[in-house]
């Protein structure tokens, strides 16, 4: 029986995590739940798990309440499913308290991957990936280290504009971008999936989780979202992980690892699937991939700057204040104009994040 705290329990990942806990109650107990502002949904979650402590993080002492939950003495693991960078401090607090962390919030590793992974190594705790691509890679690696890896191949649905001609991209609306072809997710990550910044963030996330250089992180478009990612080993063999596109699969594996536990999730029917397709990403039409590669290769404060500028630009697009291509144009410009620190501490990262938000807003 694993006892977990779910930070961001009312979001898309949080709801899937609650579903997993209801599905395998003899293996998983939720002992803490947080939500930011949705008190009604938090109350629903609290009725599902009456023994769990709860916190609403939007109040004046909200940040402190999150840290208290993240360090609950009875918890073995903290699942971080908060959108954006607000999960970073609770993640570090959980690690310092000796808890394993299951990370859905990719922004944490993009912003502070080096610091988080070093803290986890120092404390001897595990960082388990929930993002479906990284969870797939984690399953394929099955404990093998980076010296066995030739290439990590992240699969990408291509998003709603996979086949949209470049000249039509300036006209796409938030409503069009929010219609993801294969996954149902929160608003921010859905826009990131349309620009391919989501895949860009995942490239950087992979670099830290699996300790490989950026040039070994590759992306292939796979419109069916059945293969969640692959590992090509040094001997040329490739392993892939497959399932329906339902986040309950990776969430369950992260929280029950190293066990495999029977559940009620729908199995694949290959005859019904028919075919799996692959194609190269349109790098020139979707600059997010190359911007992220550059940020990941350069390191230092640049990934934090990319992430912060993107968050501001995505919100502006959702508010109908900027056209779609202005998202990556803003990120590119803020990356060029931000001061650079090669080996930042946490305070310098937070300052780079703050400044990038200011520049992006301008």
Q: Does residue 101 interact with ligand NAD by CB under 6 A?
A: no
Site string for ligand NAD, 27-66 (x = CB under 6 A): --------xx-x------------------x---------
Return the residue of 120, 137, 189, 313 that touches ligand NAD, per CB under 6 A.
189
Minimum distance of ligand NAD from residue 343's CB (angstroms) = 25
Q: Does residue 205 interact with Mg ion by CB under 5 A?
A: no
Return the residue of 151, 183, 297, 341 that touches ligand NAD, per CB under 6 A.
183
Q: Does residue 229 interact with ligand NAD by CB under 6 A?
A: no
Which one, 10 or 71, has the nearer CB to ligand NAD?
A: 10
Q: Does residue 195 interact with ligand NAD by CB under 6 A?
A: no
Order of strands, edge to edge, in the sheet holding 2-7?
53-56, 28-35, 2-7, 77-80, 100-103, 127-129
Q: Does residue 131 interact with Mg ion by CB under 5 A?
A: yes
With CB under 5 to 8 Å by kind, the binding choice for 12 among ligand NAD, Mg ion, none is: ligand NAD
What is the DSSP code string of 233-298? ETTS-EEEEE--S-THHHHHHHHHTT------PPPP-HHHH-----B---TTT-THHHHHHHHHHH
Closest CA relative to residue 305, chosen from 259, 351, 272: 351
Compute the distance between CA of residue 18 and CA of residue 8 in angstroms, rounded to an integer.
11
CB 178 within 8 A of CB 186: no
Return the residue of 8, 158, 200, 344 that touches ligand NAD, per CB under 6 A.
8
Minimum distance of Mg ion from residue 1's CB (angstroms) = 28
Residues 6+ apart with CB under 8 A from 319: none
Compute the distance between CA of residue 231 and CA of residue 351 in angstroms, rounded to an integer.
36
Q: Does residue 83 interact with ligand NAD by CB under 6 A?
A: yes
Q: Does residue 192 interact with Mg ion by CB under 5 A?
A: no
Which one, 85 or 132, has the nearer CB to Mg ion?
A: 132
CB atoms within 10 A of CB 189: 24
DSSP 83: S
Q: Does residue 353 interact with Mg ion by CB under 5 A?
A: no
Q: Binding segment for ligand NAD among 92-100, 101-109, 167-175, 255-263 (CB under 6 A)?
A: 101-109
Closest CA relative to residue 348, chosen from 306, 312, 305: 305
Binding footprint of Mg ion on the chain (CB under 5 A): 131-133
């Amino acid at each position: 029986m694993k006892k977990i705290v779910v930070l961001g329990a009312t979001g898309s990942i949080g709801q899937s995590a609650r579903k997993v806990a209801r599905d395998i109650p003899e293996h998983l107990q939720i002992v803490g739940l947080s939500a930011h502002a949705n008190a009604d949904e938090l109350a629903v979650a609290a009725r599902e798990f009456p023994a769990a402590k709860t916190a609403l993080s939007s109040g004046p002492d909200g940040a402190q309440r999150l840290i208290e939950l993240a360090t609950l003495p009875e918890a073995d693991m903290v699942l971080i499913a908060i959108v954006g960078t607000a999960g970073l401090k609770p993640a570090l607090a959980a690690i310092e308290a000796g808890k394993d962390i299951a990370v859905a919030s990719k922004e944490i590793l993009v912003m502070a991957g080096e610091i988080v992974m070093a803290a986890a190594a120092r404390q001897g705790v595990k960082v388990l990936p929930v993002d479906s691509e990284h969870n797939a890679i984690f399953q394929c690696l099955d404990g093998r280290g980076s010296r066995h890896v030739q290439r990590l191949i992240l699969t990408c649905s291509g998003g709603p504009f996979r086949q949209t001609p470049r000249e039509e991209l300036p006209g796409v609306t938030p409503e069009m971008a929010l219609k993801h072809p294969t996954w149902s997710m929160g608003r921010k990550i859905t826009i990131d999936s349309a620009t391919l910044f989501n895949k860009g963030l995942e490239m950087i996330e992979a670099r830290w989780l699996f300790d490989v250089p950026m040039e070994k992180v590759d992306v292939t478009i796979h419109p069916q979202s059945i293969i969640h990612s692959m590992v090509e080993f040094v001997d040329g063999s490739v392993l892939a992980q497959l399932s329906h596109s339902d986040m309950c699969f990776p969430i369950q594996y992260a929280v029950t690892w190293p066990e495999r536990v029977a559940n009620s999730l729908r199995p694949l029917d290959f005859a019904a699937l028919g075919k799996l397709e692959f194609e190269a990403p349109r790098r020139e039409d979707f600059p997010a991939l190359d911007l992220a590669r550059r940020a990941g290769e350069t390191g230092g404060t640049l990934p934090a700057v990319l992430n912060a500028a993107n968050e501001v630009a995505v919100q502006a697009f959702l508010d109908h204040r900027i056209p779609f291509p202005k998202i990556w144009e803003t990120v590119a410009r803020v990356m060029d104009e931000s001061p650079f620190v090669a080996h930042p501490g946490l305070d310098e990262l937070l300052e780079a994040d703050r400044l990038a938000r200011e520049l992006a807003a301008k």
